[in-house]
Amino acid sequence: MLQGVNHLTLATGDLDKSLAFYVDLLGCRPRVRWARGAYLTLGELWLCLSCDAPRPARDYSHVAFGIPAEHFAPFCARLRAAGVDEWQANRSEGDSFYLKDPDGHRLEIHVGDLESRLASLREAPYQGLIWFD
């Protein structure tokens, strides 16, 4: 039986640039590095950066990282000052900042969790919304 997400692997064309992005800008903790990759952690997340030809999704697929509300604005200001590429404006519940990593993988910095999202759906349901509980 599945237990949840084990790890996330992202392809990178430039390991040094990706390490600087994920460690220096996003605050991941580097654990090990080898010739063609690295393992990082961020809270409970195990992130693998693997050297390969990146082909990031061109759809809405993305990875969202949580952040406390009080840290959101200064964190996003630091990312903007670093010149990160923003890929969309926030259109959903909770503060969100949408950015791309150096290889073009789509990321989100988000304030809130599933419970806050569900609460917002009680107030303003999506078209065709069906509740399962």
State the catalytic residues. 108
Six-digit token string for 29: 């903790």
Which DSSP state fits 81?
H
- For every residue of 7-53, DSSP letters joined together read -EEEEES-HHHHHIIIIIIT-PEEEEEETTEEEEEETTEEEEEEES-
